[in-house]
């Protein structure tokens, strides 16, 4: 038995939209992070390149011994560079700013000595600040050009704010774009679902599809193949019902004739039993007629209306067929209907209840009035009907755990509806109750 679908949860469109927007958002964040790192690396690279060039220019000035100011030779990225001169041993000699002539503002001698063999870059804390420096040797010492890179941090902070706002905008945009993309992608599936949902046992036409032979095309092709096989099975089923019903009509007609002839020649005691047999035979003949109508795609198309006392004409004859069935409610509940059809309806309900409870002792048939309606209830103490089966028990050929051909309750509902009534069911473990509601007839209504 197929499992019922879970209720709740996001629709497929929203799930695909969430995945698409999440993917777009992640890509956007990765791109923004990469842009931040590239800009940061570029700023520090430009600073160090400029410092290296300035250090070389100052070293050339000292090496050549020409006239001019060292500060006139430097062009640092912010114009706020500091020049220091060290002796070959790494001791600070002089600086372009007084605060960088103090010992705590000097580059470690070992690092300065390392620059004697060629220019190099240095980064560290000087005078309580993070500094970037380029060192270049000249004839009698080492020159260092320093710069405070804090302006890079300020620029990156501003860039981070701008990128964060851009990221938020991209996330919102990605959600909108993701939904539009998902809706467009799921639209063919929604159409296929709508067309498939419109199908039924009497309507098994192929689903039209004019798209490419992709996954959706193959799914449609598979569904159409399934529909074709199901249609063939339904046709074969109808043909079987028609042939079987036709073959049963002749012996049943003969049986009715034999019973009628035997009833005319029987004594009073046997005549009652023969009349019960004739009634059962008529019910079997009516069931065969139903099977014939079903083979033509119909069910219960005709009724012969009479004034029917549900208790005397319907409930009592049916209860006699099932020993142990309990009856409650008085006679006098009148309806306008076909007594044979109504007995067939109640017999189907009682037979199901007896089969479910394992015997007639656990079955009760009740009658009551409810305003303009007559209520007939059939209750059993069986195991109950599973919740996933309950919505389908009145469908043709739907077979539950109790077996049967799947026709009894379908026929019962159609008989009830042709009498202007309806059948409902409630079930739980240990109790199942079918309620039949039929329009009541007052004696005055008949006189009118």
Query: What integer is the mean pLDDT of 97-126?
Result: 88
* Residue 359 located in a structural domain: yes
Rounded to whole angstroms, the Cα distance separating 367 from 332 reads 10
Point out the domain boundary residue: 271, 295, 319: 295
The pLDDT value recorded for residue 446 is 44
**Do 172 and 36 fall into the same domain?**
yes
pLDDT at site 77: 55
Residue 203 lies in a domain: no
> Which residues, other chains included, contact 441 with Cβ-Cβ below 8 Å and sequence gap of 6+?
307, 334, 335, 336
Whether 4 maps to a domain, the answer reads no
What the block records as the tokens of 145 is 């050009």
pLDDT on residue 379: 94
Residue 445 — pLDDT band, cuts 50, 70, 90?
Answer: very low
* CATH, residue 393: 3.30.565.10
Total domains, the chain = 3
> Which residue, 168, 198, 228, sits at the end of a domain?
198
On whether both 116 and 226 belong to a single domain, the answer is no
Q: Are residues 367 and 440 in the same domain?
A: yes
% of the chain beyond a pLDDT of 70: 85
> Does residue 67 register a pLDDT over 80?
no
- How many C-beta atoms lie closer than 10 Å to residue 393's C-beta? 20
Cβ–Cβ < 8 Å for 377, 444: no
Q: Cα–Cα distance between 81 and 93 in angstroms, integer?
A: 17
Write the CATH number for 249.
1.10.287.130
* 300 assigned to some structural domain: no
What six digits make up the tokens of 215? Answer: 């996954």
The pLDDT confidence band at residue 447, using thresholds 50, 70 and 90, is very low
pLDDT in tens, 294-316: 655 555 555 667 888 888 889 99
- Residue 241 CB: number of other CB atoms within 10 A? 20
Q: How far is CA 180 from the centre of its chain?
A: 19
What's the pLDDT band for 448 if we cut at 50, 70, 90?
Answer: very low
Model confidence band, residue 359 (pLDDT cutoffs 50, 70, 90): confident
Q: Which of 267, 295, 323 is the last residue of a domain?
A: 295
pLDDT at 346: 92
Query: Strand 92-95 to strand 422-428: parallel, antiparallel, or no bridges (unpaired)?
Result: unpaired
Query: How large is the average pLDDT for residues 15-26?
Result: 79
pTM, full prediction = 0.47
Task: Name the more confident of 151 and 423.
Answer: 423
- Residue in this structure with the two tokens 């209720």, named with its chain if needed: 7
pLDDT digits (tens, 9 = 90+) for 393-418: 888 767 666 555 567 788 888 889 88
324 in the same domain as 262: no
In this structure, the answer to whether residues 237 and 310 fall within a common structural domain is: no
Distance in angstroms between the alpha carbons of the first and the last residue of the chain: 53
For 24, the domain range is: 10-198
At 198, is the pLDDT very low, low, confident or very high (cuts 50, 70, 90)? confident
Higher local confidence (pLDDT), 283 or 415: 415
Among the ranges given (89-103, 109-123, 176-190, 416-430), the one the predictor scored with the smallest mean pLDDT = 176-190
Per residue in 315-325, pLDDT (tens digit) is 998 888 888 89
Question: Residues 203-212: pLDDT tens digits?
Answer: 778 888 777 8
Evaluate whether residue 301 is within a structural domain: no
**Looking at the predicted structure, is the pLDDT value of residue 28 above 60?**
yes
């Amino acid at each position: 038995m197929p499992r019922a679908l879970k209720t709740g949860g996001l629709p497929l469109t929203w799930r695909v939209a969430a995945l698409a927007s999440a993917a777009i958002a992640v890509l956007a964040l990765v791109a923004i992070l990469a842009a931040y790192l590239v800009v940061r690396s570029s700023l520090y690279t430009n600073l160090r390149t400029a410092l290296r060039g300035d250090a070389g220019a100052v070293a050339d000035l000292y090496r050549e011994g020409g006239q001019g100011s060292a500060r006139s030779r430097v062009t640092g990225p912010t114009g706020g560079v500091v020049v220091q001169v060290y002796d070959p041993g790494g001791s600070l000699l002089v600086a372009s700013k007084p605060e960088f002539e103090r010992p705590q503002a000097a580059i470690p001698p070992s690092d300065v000595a390392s620059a004697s063999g060629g220019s190099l870059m240095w980064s560290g804390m000087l005078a309580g600040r993070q500094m970037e420096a380029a060192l270049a040797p000249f004839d009698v010492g080492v020159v260092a050009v320093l710069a405070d890179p804090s302006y890079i941090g300020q620029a990156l902070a501003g860039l981070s704010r701008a990128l964060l706002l851009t990221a938020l905008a991209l996330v919102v945009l990605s959600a909108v774009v993701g939904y539009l993309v998902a809706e467009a992608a799921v639209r063919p599936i929604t159409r296929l679902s709508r067309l498939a949902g419109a199908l039924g046992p009497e309507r098994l036409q192929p689903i039209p599809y004019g798209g490419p032979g992709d996954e959706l095309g193959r799914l449609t092709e598979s569904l159409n193949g399934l529909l074709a096989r199901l249609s063939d099975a339904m046709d074969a089923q109808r043909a079987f019902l028609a042939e079987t019903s036709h073959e049963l009509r002749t012996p049943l007609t003969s049986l009715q004739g034999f019973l009628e002839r035997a009833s005319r020649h029987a004594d009073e005691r046997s005549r009652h039993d023969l009349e019960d047999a004739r009634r059962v035979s008529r019910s079997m003949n009516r069931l065969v007629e139903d099977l014939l109508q079903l083979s033509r795609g119909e069910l219960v198309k005709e009724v012969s209306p009479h004034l029917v006392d549900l208790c005397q004409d319907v409930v009592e004859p049916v209860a006699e067929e099932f020993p142990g069935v309990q009856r409650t409610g008085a006679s006098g509940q009148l309806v306008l209907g076909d007594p044979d059809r109504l007995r067939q309806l109640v017999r189907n309900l009682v037979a199901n209840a007896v089969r479910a409870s394992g015997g007639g002792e656990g079955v009760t048939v009740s009658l009551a009035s409810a305003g303009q309606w007559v209520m007939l209830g059939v209750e059993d103490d069986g195991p109950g009907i599973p919740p996933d089966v309950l919505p389908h028990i009145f469908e043709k050929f739907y077979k539950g755990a109790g077996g049967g051909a799947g026709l009894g309750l379908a026929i019962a509902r159609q008989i009830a509806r042709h009498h202007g009534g309806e059948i409902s069911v409630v079930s739980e473990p240990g109790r199942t109750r079918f309620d039949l509601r039929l329009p009541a007839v007052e004696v005055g209504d008949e006189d009118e």
